[in-house]
Amino acid sequence: MQLYWSSRSPFVRKVMVVAHEHGLAERIEKRPIVVSVMKTGRELLPTNPLGKIPTLVLADGTILYDSSVICEYLDEIGSGPKLFPAAGPARFNALRRQALGTGLMDMLVTWRSELTREHPAPGALEGYGWKLAASLQALEAEADSLAADPYGIGQVSIGAALSYLDFRFPEDWRAAHPRLAAWHAGFSARPAVQATAHIDA
């Protein structure tokens, strides 16, 4: 398998955490590429018309994107406990958590791009701040159940989003969210997470 990859992407990191959790990381050939809100990786467009990473190319030529689709594929073929519940309330709770974590990643990436503009839009920056505060408040309320529930794609997505927040934004969110901070410390100690740390290169 070939993965269009960047060590800076939280979406790629989410995929690689799942790959490591399932013992699949050695089967993935990383193809480094630089893409961002302001830079389209044109060489990627024939493979993924959205020009986004991660994009996974299977041995038979099948192409998979985005991170949620790739993670579910890896969960299906990998060994070990499944990260996507098969059905019922547990599945929808996991998918909701995945949506929150992945949506938070998307918001943070867009926020950072706005900050790099010569004249960032004050209204946009204010809105991103509100969304982050609301997300952290919701996750603080859910931190105990994140710890108690079986580890799955929801925890991977939320944990990866918080790790990206640490990587790109210097503000300390932990003091006001102690239960979430404690949960994230446990997430960060997992070997699959430590093996996929962001590198700004």
The answer to whether 173 and 137 are in contact (CB under 8 A) is: no
2-77 has which CATH code? 3.40.30.10
Question: 3-state SS string over 36-76?
Answer: CCCCCCHHHCCCCCCCCCCEEECCCCCEECCHHHHHHHHHH
pLDDT at 34: 87
Choices 2.60.40.10, 3.30.750.24, 1.20.1050.10, 3.10.20.600: CATH for 88-190:
1.20.1050.10
Write out pLDDT tens, residues 64-93. 999 999 999 999 999 989 999 999 999 999
Write out pLDDT tens, residues 24-37. 999 999 999 988 77
Residue 156, φ and ψ in degrees, nearest 5? -60, -45
pLDDT at 21: 98
Q: Which residues pair with 31 in a beta bridge?
A: 4
Domains of the chain by residue range: 2-77, 88-190
Q: What is the DSSP letter of 169?
A: -
Q: Which residues pair with 2 in a beta bridge?
A: 29, 57
DSSP-derived 3-state class of residue 113: helix
